[in-house]
Chain A
Amino acid sequence: MRVLTLIRQVLDAEESVRIKDGAVDLEGRKLVMDTMDEYGLEQALRIREAGVETEVVAVAIGPARCQDVLRNALAMGADRAIHVETDAKLDVIAVSKVMAAIATQEAADLIFSGGQQADWDSHALGAATAERLQWPQVTWTNALEVKDGSLTGKHDVDEGSETFAMPLPAVVTTQQGLNEPRYPTLPNIMKAKKKELRKESLAQFEVVPKTTVVSETVQVKERMKKMLDTKDAAVAASELVKLLRNEARVIG
């Protein structure tokens, strides 16, 4: 079978956020493959290693620099990569159109996409892509197995978690706990050099983003930073309780 894994390039979580001209400035910052996408790629590789004959194709949609994370994906073990190169700021619904079109072109059976990502906390891309393909989806997935052409696993829901079974083809969005992604080994990094990284233009997909980003701002809420003297625990406790009662008004 053929598995597509969406790979996104995001600001490393440890990096501070900088705003320039009303937008988050990524120039010169440490950009990495989103951890959630790593889970998806790792899971695809595990499916292949578990003996299901699988081709793993990494897909990125974004500016030229995204090829760095596609190379990471190839070095981790993806068989080939597709890069739809664009500087356009696309919303999730627009990107899902591209993903769905690629899935159809590639006759994919399974798509992984990350959830709760470092820049935008969302499982929406997976769901929107599934809808376009008329496939089922499972979100917040933290365990997954492929058996006899169908998926079984576990995912989180509103109140707790569920185990599930689902036919293929399908879309899966990932969640912490799904697996522990591998590091690319040096031999695999060298092998990746020879793997295909195909560039596609966005134009053929005819996407029109519906959402416009007006501005991005970093808001820092002013905190009181009132440090209580803790030499005497009882006195400190009494002071805190007073503050919670009279200032914050959260306890009766």
Chain B
Amino acid sequence: MILLVVEYSGGKVSKSTYELVTCARQLGREGPVAALVLGSNIAPVASEIAGAVDQVLVADRAELAQFDSELWAAAVAQIASEGEASTVLIGGSRSGRDYSPRVAVKLDASLLEDIITLQADGEKLIAEHYTYLARVTEKVEVQGVAVITVKPGAFAAAVRGSEVAEQFDVDLDLPPRRLQVTGKTGEKTTRVPLSEADVVVAGGRGVGSAESFTKLVEGLADQIGAAVGATRAIVDAGWRPYAEQVGQTGKTVAPKAYIAIGISGAVQHLSGMNKSKYIIAINKDAEAPIFKIADYGMVGDVNLLVPAILDELRK
């Protein structure tokens, strides 16, 4: 069995889960592809994913209403071990990266993190992931059971078919929750999440001010339905929330197009976006390192160029 853990948000299966399905189908290990849904009131999620996998395992329990590393790890390890899963696929989200190592230890399995390719070769699994601030591609191999987190966007999302998989309720032995959540701050955004967006419009210091950011970067993002990104410098300066930070200490994105406005391109920022398919750079400094990795570059005042682009789009 290839077990994958379903990620969802607002009652809908996340794009990253469909990417796990693709990964599971192409990797070349035998057995059915089973999806595990953990949570409370998750029937719609289970039904949705049933259209894309071979089996759906559902643990609908009140105590799973909120994510917890230890609970999730216990649940996934139990199901994987009962189902003799050869491979456990988990989304490379913060929570996925948080509990997957526990699952690997519990199963005495290997752990592969944030992989971008995955292929079975007999008993072996060969995977690639980025290291050194996304400047190096490392190829690794493991034997036997493996717990794997998959980098969002690395695989195409699977499409639901006409067949609907059977759903099974599962019993779990869950440990007590030790980390108590005492408050939550949401990443308030009406836009597409950064990690799922096809296009990201991001701004840096060269944008000039928090007000210009709203006008130029958010303006352009909303015009084309893109997510908004920011550099560490302006997050540190308080112009933008941390949730929008792209780079070593923020999020890593690989959209189809990354439009960098007033971003010079420090190596720490590049590590978070240099795998984007197309990079578009707009900056007044012709010498900025961002132009070295840009597909399209515009040297000039962002206050003139971005409004001109907006005008053109509105035509």
- Direct contact between the two chains A and B in their complex (CB within 8 A): yes
CB distance from A201 to the nearest CB of B (A): 23
Knowing A160-B185, A165-B182, A230-B299, the reply to whether A251 touches B313 (Cβ < 8 A) is yes
Q: Does B63 interact with chain A (Cβ within 8 Å)?
A: no
Residues of chain A whose beta carbon lies under 8 Å from any beta carbon of chain B: 11, 13-14, 17, 19, 24, 91-93, 96, 116, 118-125, 127-128, 130-132, 136-140, 152, 156-167, 175-177, 210-219, 221, 223-228, 230, 233-234, 236-238, 240-241, 243-244, 248-251
**Interface set, chain B 112-157, CB cutoff 8 A to A:** 112-114, 126, 130-133, 135-144
Q: Is the CB of B105 within 8 A of A17?
A: no
Shortest Cβ distance from A100 into B: residue: B105
Interface string of B169-210 (1 = CB under 8 A from A): 000000000111111111100000100001100000000000
Distance between B22 CB and nearest chain A CB, rounded to angstroms = 21
**What are 30 A-B pairs with beta-carbon distances under 8 A?**
A13-B248, A92-B101, A119-B131, A119-B132, A124-B101, A127-B99, A132-B105, A136-B69, A139-B69, A158-B9, A158-B93, A159-B9, A160-B184, A161-B184, A162-B181, A162-B184, A167-B178, A176-B232, A176-B249, A210-B110, A210-B143, A213-B139, A214-B140, A219-B137, A225-B297, A228-B297, A233-B307, A234-B311, A250-B198, A250-B224
Q: Which residues of B contact A (CB under 8 A)?
A: 9, 67, 69-70, 73, 93-95, 97-102, 104-106, 109-114, 126, 130-133, 135-144, 178-187, 193, 198-199, 224, 232, 242-243, 248-249, 252, 256-257, 267-268, 274-275, 277-280, 291-300, 304-305, 307-309, 311-313
CA distance A217 to B137 in the complex (A): 5
Contact B141 A228 (CB under 8 A): no
From A124, A152, A167, A216, B182 is in contact (CB under 8 Å) with A152
Say yes or no: B295 contacts A225, CB within 8 Å: yes
Among A215, A218, A236, max chain B CB count under 10 A is at A236
Count of A-B residue pairs with CB < 8 Å: 238
Residue pair B249, A211 in contact (C-beta under 8 Å): no
Residues A216 and B113 in contact, CB atoms below 8 Å apart? no
> Which chain A positions have C-beta within 8 A of B104?
93, 128
Q: Could you say which residues of chain B place their CB within 8 Å of the CB of A249?
A: 256
Contact between A240 and B298, CB atoms less than 8 A apart = yes
B295 touches A224 (CB 8 A): yes
Bound-state Cα–Cα, A38 to B95, Å: 23
In addition to A127-B98, A210-B110, A213-B140, 9 A-B residue pairs with Cβ atoms within 8 Å of each other are A93-B104, A123-B97, A131-B106, A140-B94, A162-B183, A177-B242, A214-B139, A250-B278, A251-B199
Could you tell me the dominant secondary structure of chain A's interface residues? mixed
Please state if A121 and B252 are interface contacts (CB–CB under 8 Å): yes
Query: In the bound complex, how far is the Cα of B2 from the Cα of A31, in angstroms?
Result: 40
**Which residue among A159, A160, A175 has the maximum number of chain B CB atoms within 10 Å of its CB?**
A159
Residues of B within 8 A of A163 (CB): 181-184
Interchain nearest-CB distance for A174 vs B (Å): 10
Instruction: List, in ascending order, chain A residues with CB within 8 A of B292's CB.
Output: 223, 225
B180, A165: Cβ atoms closer than 8 Å: yes
Distance between Cα atoms of A227 and B286 in the complex (Å): 10
Rounded to whole Å, the gap between the CB of B69 and the closest CB of chain A is 6
Assess the A118–B132 pair: CB atoms within 8 A. yes
Q: Rank and list the top 7 A-B pairs by shortest CB-CB distance, nearest first.
A: A237-B308, A210-B110, A176-B249, A128-B101, A127-B101, A230-B300, A136-B178
A129 to chain B minimum Cβ distance, whole angstroms, is 9
User: Whole-angstrom distance from the CB of B133 to the nearest CB of chain A?
Assistant: 6
Q: Which residue of B lies closest to A230 (CB)?
A: B300
